[in-house]
Amino acid sequence: MTNGYRLNCADVLHVNCPAWDTKSSDKVLEKLISKCLLWTKDNSARSIAFPAIGTGLLRFPPDVVAKSFVRAAAKFAKDNEDTTVERIIMIVYDKDSVTQQGFEKALDLKIKAMPTIKSSDSKQPIDGEGKFVRSVPETWEKPLNIYREFAVSKHTLEWKNVSSSFLKTIGKPVGAVTVLAVRRVQNPKSYFLYDSNRAFVAQKLSRREDQVETTPLWHATAEDNIQKITHGKFDRGLSGKVGDNLLGAGCYFSTTSGYSDNWNSPVNAAGEKHMIMVRVVTGDFCKGDNSLKTAPYKPGSKTEQYDSVVDDVSNPTKYVVYHDASAYPEYIVKYKL
């Protein structure tokens, strides 16, 4: 490790990567990336940027590098939920179309232009002028790098989509429920963990990311718990009625807002209720039961667990997850009956 000198960073980590071979190089690369990520934890770093390691003279296939990167990042996110890291960036030379296409194909990434990095008295490109980033939802507003909540205007398509999804499954007569407010949650740290986990599960199951995610799902809770969830995580202790864990002791989400409203949506002093619209990585699931403390292992495996459990495998209406990075609170809906 050396300091950043005139680059716009605090430190530079140096790694020794061997030439490509089909037997073990992907694992070696994954281990190198993991060591760098662990360094960020030990040194309380908030971000880290990687070049496309090995794709030059060492001839690593770009898709292999991309997948190794996702596996390492997802494992780091899963094992280090208290990390200070908010962004992990892959940097690729903008004229290297082969590497760019390999990354795009492997990870469904988008390219974002990155200008040359300026120092106090010179300009220095950092391994090219293109940056691959996992894209945040299109509705997000700046600033994107800190926690924010934005009130969604009633005159927007975003309001219409959220409120109609909520009212569609509330199970009440038209006009019996009034949506009072919708707030969009922008938590970059939580979204990064969720996004990494979604990419990892999709890769593991050889599916597209939208095939391992279920949205919208609904989670009702007391108003006092909302900020604990959106700033931190879904906590079984904040999920609802003690002892009502028919599918296991995880966090519960419903396909219908009506079920969540009936199950655990207490009224505040003003007669208002609150519910969270959630994205959940459901992946491969199985039937849950009240003995479960975590997702069960798949038949014949001692290492691979199901990603969630459900009430009915053929037609799930309730999902339970046990991993913090498996759910992201997208919107807070305030309503009144």
| 3-class DSSP string for the chain | CEECCCCCCCEECCCCCCCCCCCCHHHHHHHHHHHHHHHHHHCCCCEEEEECCCCCCCCCCHHHHHHHHHHHHHHHHHHCCCCCCCEEEEEECCCCHHHHHHHHHHHCCEEEECCCEECCCCEECCCCCEEEECCCCCCCCCCCCCCEEEECCCCCHHHHHHHHHHHHCCCCCCCCCEEEEEEEEECHHHHHHHHHHHHHHHHHHCCCHHHCEEEEEEEECCHHHHHHHHHCCCCHHHCCCCCCCCCCCCEEEECCHHHHHHHHCCCCCCCCEEEEEEEEECCCEEECCCCCCCCCECCCCCCCECCEEECCCCCCCEEEECCHHHEEEEEEEEEEC
| pLDDT tens-digit readout, 137-184 | 889 998 888 899 999 999 999 999 999 999 999 999 989 999 999 999
Residue 130 has pLDDT above 70, yes or no: no
- Reported as a pLDDT band with limits 50, 70 and 90, residue 46 is confident
Which segment, 2-16, 155-169, 197-211, 240-254, is predicted with the most confidence on average? 155-169
Averaged pLDDT, 198-213: 90
Contact 145, 86 (CB under 8 A): yes
- Quick one: pLDDT at residue 131? 42
Residue 101 has pLDDT above 80, yes or no: no
- Quick one: pLDDT at residue 147? 93
Calpha distance 301→295 (Å, rounded): 13
Domains contained in the chain, CATH given? 2-133 (3.40.220.10), 148-336 (3.90.228.10)
Task: Give the contacts of 146 (CB within 8 A, at least 6 positions apart).
Answer: 188
| pLDDT tens-digit readout, 248-266 | 989 999 999 999 999 888 8
Averaged pLDDT, 21-27: 83
| pLDDT tens-digit readout, 289-325 | 999 999 999 999 989 999 999 999 999 999 999 988 9
- Quick one: pLDDT at residue 286? 98
- Quick one: pLDDT at residue 63? 81
Averaged pLDDT, 88-104: 70
Among 97-101, 115-119, 265-269, the minimum mean pLDDT is found in 115-119
- Quick one: pLDDT at residue 2? 78
With 0-12 CB in 10 A as exposed, 13-18 as middle and 19+ as buried, what is 95?
A: exposed
> One-letter amino acid identity for 129?
E
- Quick one: pLDDT at residue 113? 40
Residue 29 has pLDDT above 80, yes or no: yes
- Quick one: pLDDT at residue 107? 58
- Quick one: pLDDT at residue 99? 72
Residue 233 has pLDDT above 80, yes or no: yes
- Quick one: pLDDT at residue 90? 76
Residue 204 has pLDDT above 60, yes or no: yes
